[in-house]
Chain A
Amino acid sequence: MSSIQDVQKEIIEEFEILGDDKESTIFYIMELGNNLPSFPEKERVDVNIIKGCQSKVWLTAKMEDDKIHFLADSNTDITKGLISLLIRVLSERSPKEIIDAQLQFIDKIGMGNIIGSQRSNGLAAMIKQMKLYALAYQAKQNA
């Protein structure tokens, strides 16, 4: 499996091809959302909603073979696309890898300018929640 750094590099290259046209970039992000694996209906509950997102975002995490497996969904297509990027980078990693991950791709592709400040705050909240899950699982491993 590629490293977190390699996956980030791939994403940056993909966005470079899109160029400066904001509309095509947003269309592309929306398309990425289609790659998300389907989210189990029974997990679509308030306790899995990430606080701090304007759109609704559900996130679950499970540990299998020492790797964290994230599943997520949203009620808006653009947010689904953003989640799919985070899952591509952070899912199926060890808690330590997730905790240590520096997510440069967000700044490198100028995500702030693409999605605006409110959605950027939401994106930060998603990352924070994923790292919190990693911390919790790491604590469990060390217990």
Chain B
Amino acid sequence: MPINIEEIRNQFPVLHQEVNGKPLVYFDNAATTQKPKQVLEALQQYYEMDNSNIHRGAHTLADRATRYYENTRSAIQKFINAKEEEEIIFTKGTTESINLVASTFGRKFIGKGDEIIISTLEHHSNIVPWQMLCEEKGAILKIIPINDAGEIDLEEFEKLLSAKTKLVSLVHVSNALGTINPVKRVIELAHKFGAKVLLDGAQSTNHLEVDVQELDCDFLAFSAHKLYGPTGLGILYGKREILESMPPYQGGGEMIKEVSFEKTTYNEIPFKFEAGTPNIADVIAFSKAIKFIDDLGKKEIKKHEDDLLEYASDALKDIKGFIPVGTAKEKVSVISFNINGMHPFDVGMMLDANGIAVRTGHHCTQPLMKRLGLEGTVRASFSVYNTKSEIDQMVASIARIAKIKNK
């Protein structure tokens, strides 16, 4: 069933406000999406009725909170089609999910002279943890190059692979450009060399159907807040046998089986990786965000977003001075651009003066910006609640702004 945009917008209280005297147009969805009221109500409901520490509680509230918390784990398992719930680990975000793998899998399985492959498109959070690990272990970081459109070069990737490759950590969808990477092929190739593959799904899980069994990725990292859920909550999926072979991440409560001063034994997965009291309220509320997505259907969401992308790309291309950045054939609903003769910060501020929220700068992808020869871009990213009339508002503003330097 096609989506009813008015009905959807009514579920997002934050959208109904004015900014600088203009109706808010929220096009910063790749940074974080807004939250439907079901998520907000679930947060309040938890603190009003269910607040309690989970697992091991001998009372009704603890039991209820535990059940709701674990229900979300099961909802996420279905959402990404993982084989088992135990393969879903809660973290505080994509960044922590990647760092967890670097600190545990990396600590145990990556040694001197081993190689890790990432791409030019990566967010800093999928670069720095590996640099830190390589420095510590004497391992080597290899980079898949891209073409000018912002697509990774698969032939070059194949050349980088060898028996030394222990891990390929690749962004599924580029946050700065919106490029969708051919991850299935990357995973197949990497597996031929016995390398494990981590997918940074921060920007893909909200736009695409991500099926971890079909892709056969070894790890998937993503964040709730880019999926209409709360901030401060991330997910790490890992295949059971790999997670079981990894040492724990942090020490503390919850992650142990038995503690004595002589020796501590560790809990089973997923709890081995969830030391301390977790982010219970946000985990529970996140199930409502997943339900929101499931009810609409990813196919319908993508259709709407693709429609917006096409509409905006079409309207912007004729503006004098408009320079698109990232023109991959396969893209999600992200438009990165510059205006000839203007700094992205200035463009962003003038759009904000018109009530339009976009992101400007290097988007935490400085090596990518360097490759493209840019200081930064302006990025407009569309979500399910955005409309063509909002795009009209942005296009009119951009046309006016571009005229300053492009008469």
Chain A residues near B (Cβ < 8 Å): 20-23, 25-27, 30, 54-55, 75-79, 115-116, 119
Contact = CB atoms under 8 A, between A and B. Distances in A.
B404 A20 contact: no
B375 A78 contact: no
Given A55-B345, A78-B345, A26 B375 contact: no
B45 interface: no
Interface in B308-358: 342-343, 345-346, 349-350, 352-354
B342 A77 contact: yes
A23 B342 CA distance: 16
Contacts of B343: 55, 75-78
B345 A27 contact: no
Contacts of B346: 30, 76-78
A20 B343 CA distance: 24
B20 A22 contact: yes
6 contacts: A20-B21, A23-B353, A25-B353, A54-B345, A77-B342, A78-B349
A42 B404 CA distance: 29
A75 B353 contact: no
Interface residues on B, range: 10 to 19
A26 B353 CA distance: 8
Contacts of A77: 342-343, 346
Contacts of A55: 343, 345
Contacts of B354: 23
Nearest to A113: B20
A30 B400 CA distance: 14
A74 to B, nearest CB: 9
A15 to B, nearest CB: 15
Q: Chain A: interface secondary structure?
A: helix
Contacts of A54: 345, 361
Given A22-B21, A119-B349, 9 more contacts: A20-B21, A22-B353, A23-B350, A23-B353, A27-B404, A76-B345, A76-B346, A77-B346, A78-B345
B355 to A, nearest CB: 9
A101 B361 CA distance: 34
Chain A CB within 10 Å — which of B343, B349, B375 has the most?
Answer: B349
A78 B342 CA distance: 10
A20 B18 CA distance: 14
Contacts of A26: 349-350, 353
A103 B39 CA distance: 45
Chain B CB within 10 Å — which of A21, A76, A119 has the most?
Answer: A76
Contacts of B353: 22-23, 25-26
A91 to B, nearest CB: 24
Contacts of A75: 343, 375
B217 to A, nearest CB: 36
B404 A30 contact: yes
B361 to A, nearest CB: 8
A54 B362 CA distance: 11
Nearest to B355: A22
Contacts of B404: 27, 30
A116 B357 CA distance: 13
A132 to B, nearest CB: 25
Chain B CB within 10 Å — which of A75, A77, A79 has the most?
Answer: A77
Contacts of A30: 346, 404
A109 to B, nearest CB: 15
Ranked nearest first, the 3 interchain pairs of A and B with the lowest CB-CB distance are A76-B343, A22-B353, A23-B353
A129 to B, nearest CB: 19
Interface string B116-154: 000000000000000000000000000000000000000
Contacts of A116: 349, 352
A55 B353 CA distance: 19
Nearest to A76: B343
Nearest to B361: A54
A97 to B, nearest CB: 31
Nearest to B354: A23
Chain B CB within 10 Å — which of A54, A78, A79 has the most?
Answer: A78
A20 B20 CA distance: 9
Contacts of B20: 22
